[in-house]
């Protein structure tokens, strides 16, 4: 067993308010487990903690940072927004960790149309949260965390987005009470002080950036400051931390694809972290980033091929509006004529002509129905993203190079 650098999280006994009338509605077996008190976690404060990394892990991080910087610089030379595409892959993988799945097409459609499946809207919220986090400048702050959570939750139609919880939550067990739960986060009255502690740690400049991002994420999951959406918000903060430290300035790596690849190890690392070993989550993030680079490079190669193929199909003179369409599809692979007209600043009629021409070239294909309306999807991009967003495909990429 690894030597623990920090004390393990503690606990405190709190009263559990049992509603007598509600208890009568429960099966006897469930009633017997519900007691008048329960134990909630009391995590360690981390603002001034140090992390000692093994020399082998430090060497891996150094090599990783060089590889990430090289990949990040490559994206600035592309003629389209690869980061927007990888952001979609990241959002889908992060949602799959929470057992939320939907097609890439439906998620893109949900950003344009309210009549989309609920899971698609939830994952579209993850895309919006990622954009919110990456657009924010400067240090981590409470307002920024609340804004990210609000962007995530608003897409689901719920009203608690951006609001810290004011009730006890728990992981695992039953819906009736925290008794028998796998993990019971701290009491809601402690959430604000713990978030302030996380923010203080996150804004230090004397910690390895990969280790810092990993610990911020793990502590955030330990505190569980919201009623729902903690996992997806916490993984979004990983990207904010990497952007703040300058590890990534352009691209968005599908870090959650790396975590999804070995989700049992990911969950185990969080449990080990809570027992006092911060190195476990750092190793897990390094593993995930190494795999994310593999996935990112393979996706980039496939998207480059799609863009090149499209360019070769076009017969219009250079400078024609149709050459402006592929970069737009990289940001939004499902479009409407109204969306194209607005983003390319052309008339509705010109947009319809442009979309029709793209359909003739096989770049776009009409989808939708009379009730929903007509939309158009870029099959070439959708296919690549579907491959990069499923666990079997991610494992195949790693083992075969796609």
The residue extents of the domains of the chain are 10-298
Candidates 313, 309, 332; CA nearest to 382 is 332
Rounded to two decimals, the pTM is 0.88
pLDDT of residue 274: 95
Predicted confidence at residue 1, as pLDDT, reads 46
pLDDT at 117 (0 to 100): 80
For the chain, what's the residue count?
402
What is the per-residue pLDDT for 23? Answer: 67
Partnered with residue 38 across adjacent β-strands are 14
Between CA 183 and CA 274 the distance in angstroms is 10
The H-or-E segment that residue 13 falls in is strand 10-15
Distance of alpha carbon 150 from alpha carbon 353, whole angstroms: 38
Contact 386, 257 (CB under 8 A): no
Q: Which CATH architecture has domain 10-298?
A: Orthogonal Bundle (1.10)
Confidence at residue 400, expressed as pLDDT on a 0 to 100 scale: 63
Residues of the chain with pLDDT under 50: 1
User: What pLDDT score was predicted for residue 373?
Assistant: 67
Distance between CA 199 and CA 201 in Å, rounded?
5
Determine the Cα–Cα distance for residues 380 and 378; give it in Å rounded to an integer: 6
d(CA 165, CA 233): 14
Residue 97: partners with Cβ closer than 8 Å, 6 or more residues away? 231, 235, 256, 259, 260, 263, 266
Contacts of 197 (CB under 8 A, 6+ apart): 45, 46, 47, 219
């Amino acid at each position: 067993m690894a030597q623990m650098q920090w004390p393990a999280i503690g606990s405190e006994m709190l009263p559990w308010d049992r509603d007598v009338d509600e208890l009568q509605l429960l099966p006897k077996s469930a009633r017997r487990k519900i007691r008048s008190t329960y134990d909630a976690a009391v995590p360690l404060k981390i603002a001034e903690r140090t992390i000692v990394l093994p020399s082998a892990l430090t060497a891996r991080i150094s090599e990783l940072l060089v590889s990430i910087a090289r990949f990040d610089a490559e994206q600035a030379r592309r003629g389209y927004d690869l980061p927007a595409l990888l952001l979609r892959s990241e959002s889908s993988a992060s949602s799959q960790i929470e057992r939320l799945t939907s097609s890439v097409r439906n998620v893109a459609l949900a950003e344009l149309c309210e009549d989309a499946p609920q899971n698609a809207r939830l994952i579209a919220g993850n895309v919006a949260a990622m954009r919110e986090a990456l657009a924010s400048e400067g240090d981590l702050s409470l307002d920024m965390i609340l804004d990210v959570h609000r962007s995530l939750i608003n897409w689901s139609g719920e009203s608690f987005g951006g609001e810290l919880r004011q009730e006890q939550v728990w992981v695992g067990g039953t819906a009736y009470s925290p008794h028998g739960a796998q993990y019971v986060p701290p009491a809601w009255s402690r959430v604000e002080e713990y978030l302030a502690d996380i923010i203080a740690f996150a804004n230090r400049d004397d910690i390895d950036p990969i280790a810092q991002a990993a610990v911020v994420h793990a502590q955030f999951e330990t505190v569980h400051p919201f009623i729902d959406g903690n996992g997806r918000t916490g993984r979004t903060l990983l990207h904010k931390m990497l952007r703040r430290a300058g590890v990534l300035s352009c691209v968005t790596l599908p870090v959650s694809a790396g975590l999804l690849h070995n989700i049992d190890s990911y969950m185990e690392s969080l449990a080990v972290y809570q027992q006092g070993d911060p190195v476990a989550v750092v190793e897990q993030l390094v593993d995930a980033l190494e795999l994310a680079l593999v996935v990112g490079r393979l996706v980039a190669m496939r998207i480059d091929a799609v863009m090149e193929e499209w360019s070769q199909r076009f017969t219009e003179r250079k400078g024609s509006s149709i050459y402006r369409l592929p970069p737009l599809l990289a940001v939004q692979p499902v479009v409407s004529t109204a969306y194209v007209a607005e983003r390319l600043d052309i008339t509705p009629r010109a947009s319809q002509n442009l979309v029709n021409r793209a359909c003739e070239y096989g770049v776009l294909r009409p989808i939708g129905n009379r009730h929903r309306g007509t939309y158009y999807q870029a099959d070439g991009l959708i296919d690549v993203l579907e491959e990069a967003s499923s666990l079997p495909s991610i494992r195949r990429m790693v083992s075969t190079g796609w």
